[in-house]
Each structure stands twice: as structure tokens, then as C-alpha cells.
Amino acid sequence: MPLPLILGMGAAAAAAVGATSGVQGAVKMKKASDTQKKAQRKHQRNLKRFEQETETTNQEMDDLGKLELSILKDFETFSDLMEKIQNRPEFKNLAHEEVQIPEYNPEELKKTSVGAGVLLGGLGGAALGTAGGFAAAGATTAAVMALGTASTGTAIASLSGAAAVNATLAALGGGALAAGGGGMALGSAVLGAATLGVGILVGGIIFNLVGKSISDKADEAWNQMKEAEDEINQICQYLNDLYVSAGWYKDSLLLVQKQYEQHLQAMKSIILEEGRTDWNAYTSADKITIENTVLLVGLLYKMCKVQVVLQSQDREGMNQVNHKELNQNIADAKSILQKIA
């Protein structure tokens, strides 16, 4: 066979092999690109689901936090009425059976009421999840903390509204200001305003999650997406649990608050409208009304003190819903409401 023909055939064969390799290479590149894009799309959908779950839970926790603070603030009216009653007893051992209720402490109630007022005054325009942070840590504890001093040594109550709120969150060691060690800057930059309060609710795992990015390499991108998806699924499951628990607890609080307001109105009628302030001159019905009001105040104080969220000891771990105390307080509330009905 002539040499030119052989060379020509060899060149054609080489070209064919090269073309085949090129097609295969193009197919692999397209497949890799499709995989990477698919991973990105799925990751974005997962993040969207996480953000929606977070916003819903934060709103429910905010509602609970604001309710608890408003209840504590209203104790001021009750305390003022009690101070007008002469010869009043110490109101010890008002609870029954296994229900443990704090004893009446006028100074503690006044302090809590003032602190709650400071925090409520600073919530206007606060980021979503801020009030929920107080409920998570215990609104009663937060209210008392608001009368303490900031890390700068300044009295928190003397600060402006937002500054007082932030200082209290910092003193509690969490919330939108210092969630999971990431702080407000990280929350704002990565999660957005809708999820600023998520750190104190979820725990440090959230900042481990948002610090991750999807690689531009197909295999790495898919594995990273799956790893993040597993974490997001865990967090969303926890957030849903917290949402449901906060809703149940809020409903229980509202029932107790309704009874408290009715009893408080009866106290106002006795003390302010009728002008009767001597305990020794009260009828049995009057005394029962006031004793039950004291009992309801103690119950509300206790309910607002519970930590809805138990912080993880692991900086990168996930928090837990405090089911034990929440359920116990709901049961105690039901028992006491039945007693005074």
C-alpha cells in the first residue's frame, strides 16, 4: 500500500479517535455542570425551606415572649393594690397537692414588673426573634436581668430602648446579639433579617451550617449539598417542635391570664371602688378572691420563668425544647384553674 495512503488512513483514524474522545469529554463536562447546577438549585430550595420554618417559629416565639413580658409588666397594678390592704397575711402555702408556686414577694414582683416594662419599651422595631429570645431564656429572668448592669458597667434600665434590649440579651448570653458566637453581624450577613433570632433558638449548629458553601466541582458540590440537607432537615424538625410547643404554652398562658384579669378586676372593685382595705373586715368571698389572685400571680410568674429552650453545651450542637417544664407548667395551670373555677 502506498505510504501516503497509509499515512492518510492513520490520520483519519487518529482524527476519529480524537473526535470520539472530544465528544466523551464534552458529555462528561456537561454532566458535571448539570450535577453542580442541580446541587446548587436543591441547596437553595433547602435554604428557602429553612428560612420559612425559621420565620414561622420566630414569629410564634416572639408572640410568646411579648405575652410573657406584658403579663409581668402588669404585675405592677397587682402590687399597688396589695400595698393598700391593711393587716394582710403573708399568703404562704396557697398552692395545693403537688403544685409548687413561688411565695408572694412584693419586692420581687415590682422589680420584675419594672424590668419587663424596660424590655417591652425597647422591642419596637426590634429584629424578628428578639422577643422570642427572652421567652427562650425565660422572660422572668430576662426582666430581672434588665435591672442589672451591662458589661460596660452601665445600668441597663438607664439605656435607650433598643440598647437595653441588646444589653439584656448579651447578659443572658444569647439572642440576636450573640447567637451561637456569630453575633448580629453574622446573622445579618448570612441569614437575613427574618432569621436574626434563630441562634438562641437553635444553637451553634446554625452557624456551622450557614458558613458552608457549595463547591464548583460536581462531586464535591453534591456531597456538600447532601450534608447541608441533613443538617437543615434536623433543624427544621426541631423548629417545628419548638413552634408547636410554644403555641401550646401560649394558649395555656392566655387561659391563666384571662382568669387573672377577672380576679384583678374584682380586687379593684373591692379596694378602689368600694374603698375597703382592711383584711380583717373582708368577707370570706373577698378573701378567697384575693387569695386566688395571689395564687394566679404566682402561677404566671412561674410560667414566665421557664426556659422554653435548653441551650446545648456543645457550641456547634443543637438546642432542645424544654418539654419537661413546659408540660409540667401546663398541667399545673390546668390543676389550679380547676381549683379556683
Q: Are 122 and 165 in contact (CB under 8 A)?
A: yes
| Assigned domain for 84 exists | yes
Range of the domain at 64: 47-340
- Among left, alpha and beta (phi > 0; psi -120 to 50; other), residue 318 is beta
Identify the three-state secondary structure at position 155: strand
Inside any domain, residue 18: no
Among 144, 145, 116, smallest CA distance to 131 is for 116
Q: Please, what's the b/e burial string for 201-229 (b: 16 or more CB within 10 A of its CB; e: otherwise)?
A: bbbbbbbbbbeeebbeebeebbebbeebb
Asked, for residue 22, whether it belongs to a domain, the answer is no
Indicate whether 3 belongs to any domain.
no
Average pLDDT per block of 10 residues along the chain, 341 residues long: 47 46 58 77 87 89 94 94 93 70 84 87 79 86 76 65 71 46 33 46 64 64 83 90 96 98 97 96 95 94 93 79 96 92 77
The whole-number pLDDT of residue 153 equals: 60
- Provide the number of structural domains found in the chain: 1
Cell numbers at 289, concatenated:
378572691
- The secondary structure of residue 279, as a DSSP letter, is G
Any domain includes 24: no
Q: Confirm whether 124 is domain-assigned.
A: yes
E-only strand ranges, the chain: 309-310, 320-321
For residue 47, what pLDDT is reported?
Answer: 86
pLDDT value of position 214: 62
Whether 231 is in a domain gets the answer yes
User: How far is 67 from 337, CA to CA, in rounded Å?
Assistant: 19
Q: Are 175 and 200 in contact (CB under 8 A)?
A: yes
CA atoms within 13 A on the CB side of 193: 3
Q: Could you tell me if residue 6 is inside a domain?
A: no
